[in-house]
Amino acid sequence: MLSARSLFQEIHDHDEAFRLFCSIAAKGEDQGGWENGRIARLVEDQWLAPRIARHGADEDKHGRIFNALLHKRGLSPVEVPDDTDYTMLLERQGIGLAHTRLRRDEPLGEADVITYLAHSRVTEQRASEQMRLLRKVFGQHPEIGRAVRMISNDEDNHLAYCHEELLRLAAAGHGRRILQTLQETARAEIRTYRDVSLAVMSHMGRILRWPTAKSAVLAAGIHGVFAYELIGGRHRMTTLRMPDRLDALGGPPPRESFV
């Protein structure tokens, strides 16, 4: 019987599948670390800058964690196929702040900050949900449980921070722009998530030698999620509420380290 647990367990138990999974995750986290690091240097809001830097430091840490999980298995990262590169595909659609903009040493304005936070709010919703799923499957696993719990907690913090900061900007009169940016970002993100999910499953299917019927069932499930999100499920990405975790990224990062 197909389930998230059985699927993730199959990937975990196969060296090449696990290698690809961790490589994809590490690249995405590394990219997020770089982006947040650059934004923290360019933003003029002195309240926000250290929190963005903390966000970037967390993403860098996650990249190191995924690479450490590979190292523990005696594996090295592999080149990530372009069709599985979630962050690159979003940037190509004009979602978030372009890398060409971030490479220029020019301060970011308020509109740039809204674009950044809206992009983060949508993508961190996805990351938080994915890590909660992995936490259900592997939270108590002796090899990777601690890493999964740590990253999941961080992603929940990132999502809380995005809610709080966007609500702060909405209260300052930017509500309409924020809502429009969230809606545009969410529409692009759900398409990209579908495409990346299909690509990842295709690569995993070849590695794990899945029968055609199994691949077809998984693809149908991905398309089903896309249809649900297109019709109405994306609203969870575009609404804002004051989080239970206030100032989730205030203060220095925890001293605990995985690697």
- The reply to whether 184 falls in a domain is yes
Between residues 218 and 256, the one the model is more confident about: 218
14 assigned to some structural domain: yes
Residue 30 tokens read as: 């590394």
- Where would I find the H helices in 139-255? 145-169, 175-208, 212-228, 235-238
For residue 243, pLDDT beyond 80? yes
Contact 239, 167 (CB under 8 A): no
Q: Quick check: is 257 in a domain?
A: no
What is the predicted pLDDT for the residue at 172? 96
Confirm whether 231 is domain-assigned.
yes
Q: Is 251 left (phi over 0), alpha (psi -120 to 50) or beta?
A: left
> Measuring CA to CA, how many Å separate 174 from each of 95, 110, 118, 167, 230?
19, 10, 12, 9, 25
**What pLDDT does residue 257 have?**
52
Rounded mean pLDDT, 147-169: 97
- Overall average pLDDT of the 76-80 stretch: 97
Per-residue pLDDT, averaged over 73-92, amounts to 96
pLDDT of residue 258 exceeding 60: no
Q: How many domains does the chain have?
A: 1
DSSP single-letter state for residue 81: P
Give the model's pLDDT for residue 254.
59
- Is a pLDDT exceeding 90 seen at residue 3? no
pLDDT at 4: 87
Q: What is the mean pLDDT of residues 108-122?
A: 97
162 within some domain? yes
- Domain span at residue 107 reads 4-238
Q: What confidence tier does 1 reach under pLDDT thresholds 50, 70, 90?
A: low
pLDDT in tens, 9-58: 999 999 999 999 999 999 999 999 999 999 999 999 999 999 999 999 99
Instruction: Tell me the C-alpha distance between 27 and 94, whole Å.
Output: 20
Whether 250 is covered by a domain: the verdict is: no
CATH number at residue 30: 1.20.1260.10
How many residues does the structure list for the chain? 259
pLDDT class of 253 with cuts at 50, 70, 90: low
Confirm whether 253 is domain-assigned: no
Q: Is residue 135 part of a domain?
A: yes
